[in-house]
Structure 1
Amino acid sequence: MRTTDLLAFCVNALRRQAFRTFMMFIAMSIGVAAVIVLTGLGEGARRYVLSEFEALGTSTLIVLPGKQETSGGMPPMTGEATRDLTLEDSVAISRIPQVQSVAPLIIGSALASAGGRSREVVTLGTTASFFGIRKLEMAQGTILPPESADLALPVAILGMTIRDELFGSKPALGETLRIGDRRFRIIGILADSGEGLGMNRSESIVIPVASAQQLFNAPGLFRIFIEARPGANLDTIRERAVDTVAARHDGEEDITIITQDALVSSFGDILSTLTLAVSAIGGISLLVAGVLVMNVTLITVTQRTGEIGLLKAIGASGNLVSRIFLTEAGLLALGGAMGGVLLGELLLWVGRRIFPDIPFSAPLWAEATSVLVAVGAGLLFALMPARRAAQLEPVKALMKK
């Protein structure tokens, strides 16, 4: 039988059993779609996290209080009290020749109120350098004044969401709001730049670091961000910063300095592994679909015993009968796989519409692999039923009919 005749025969056979064909098509589609969606979710999360860290720039270092053995993993952004780092430490680090700028940081939560409205707000205490290091843009007004970091100026910069919730449609620049038990004059509005390192900037307030120290009664710093000069060696800066702080801390090396490259490498490896893990979990659904193909094909062989006997009676070989059933399984698996790719891409598109900041997208290797595995599983699980059909004797098959 020619290949075109074989394909036409198999297509007609599948059309005659439309409901059974549809069910196997759906099973295979769901299996492939599960692999693509899970892989797309993992890949989207990986790209999102890496883009957040890359936003720090390749010349950024982060100083953490406490000596830690770390390979680049990012510690939590909130929730730890800091006592070891001081403003004097940040000033000393800024004097290292290869350092471009330094931004001390304090993070806390306080009740912000204005015009009878109030809400709990994440409040950042830092300096003007922080805006350049973190690439924060202003929608209105100006950044923090470039005065000395130890001046507790009563000025604040609001995120857009905070501005809208506390002031509504009224202008906020120049107005006064209360944060905790202190009053601040609004000098700027942050541009809406989404989330950064797990924190929504539009729902934050930025004040001078010395003001934050007084507000939260916290003399210690949470982090110190260091921006290196162009072409500077980050390893050299790290060593100089450790030595500088150690000299101020009675010779004790009680800080940890991590780089953006270390963060990207560490999180990239972790998230890539997780992506492969969830893809493997999704692959289980393909095996389930393959088992369904085998069971349905076994039932089909039993129901088409007479047809098999007739084919053999008119000269069809056992090999041809086996090819017929394998071709039907292959067509079903291929069609279901392609349908699964379309379904998976549709679901990922919906995910991107709901969460536009996260680039949900299945890599090409995942789509190609899922299609190949689906077709391979379909053929593999159809092999036993196809052999059983090939081994039927024509006389017995016709008698059974």
Structure 2
Amino acid sequence: MKLTDLHIRKLKPGPRTARYSDGHGLFLEITPQGSKLWKMAYRFDGKQKTLSFGKYPFVSLLRAREKCAEAKAQLYDGLDPREKEKAEAAVKVARTEHTFAKIAAELQEKRKKEGISKTTLQKRDWFIRLINKDLGDMPITEIKPVDILVPLRRQEARGNYETARRMRSSIGQVFRYAVATARADHDPTFALRDALITPKVQHMAALTKREDFARLLQVIWTYEAGSEITRSALKLMAMLYTRPGELRLAHWNEFDFEKRVWTLPEERMKMRRPHHKPLAEPVIEILRKLQEQTGNRVRVFPSLTGNDRSISENTMNQALRRMSFTKEEMTPHGFRSSASSLLNESGLWNPDAIEAELAHADSNQVRRIYHRALYWEERVRMADWWADEVLAMAQAR
């Protein structure tokens, strides 16, 4: 007998779950707790299955029958209504949970666990915040290339071509992570490769001729303005030619004066591998003198505005400007090019040893380990020779 609303309202829960049929596989299930649930029993591919339609009275008798009729129509077409229900649920989750912002945040959390440097994470956070203004709330499966162009074109309109290029790269990383975790099918940024303005490559300014570099060193060694910390940092940049961030963020416990080695931790290295640099005696002398001033701190180059921070990226830049070297002539990063050019020009050192000293790591792990062991002694001799050369140029008149 078919159910009626009056009949349903009069039904009371019992000690066990009870079922009341309405025909065509549709039935009302009443639990001991009093819940009245609409369900449908059916067979598909030789298997007995059950489909749920919701709770009475939120789903009325009429609506339950409509749902039952829809399911029957799907069965007639050879479709499993339960799989359709799962697909619709997945779409709903994708719209609310699989948004660009949530997947981007998840990727950032993964990077933190992988030990990506704080500075790199902060840069990527900045790009994601810019992108989220336009794409953050959108389901990742619904984002098209034209949607991605919106924040990119905005940056290009401001002349920020490199920012636009890096934003596209960041968006692509999020999409590739979504693809890898089965929440997207493809990376739409691939279609935008040729859509953006290519920024003109600007190399870090450097003095690579010996006479020009010697003039710079003479100014640094006679420079009396600024702090001892800044002067020491510039002298060590000339002698050690590391990346500026690798030097300015150095900790005292990384230096072993007895073994004459500076061990740079992997989290501060561009290639995310520890790097060992031999220390020449003139380098150790500069460090020991600086240690008298900052040796009671964790950082070798602490900021004057706070003991828990290092000098800023602009500290050495500003000092070079005060020395009358423009940004088109020299930058802190330029010390690497200066040293590389003059070391190669000397003809005394194996180019691979110079590359190893610059921490230009080989992508082949076996080759990298082999070269590190093979060239260490040569790098020690090269460090001593280069430090003497720097002093000779600095003191020449």
TM-score, normalised with respect to structure 2: 0.21
| Structure ranking higher on relative contact order (CA contacts 8 Å, 6+ apart) | 1
Bigger Rg, structure 1 or 2: 2
TM-score, normalised with respect to structure 1: 0.20
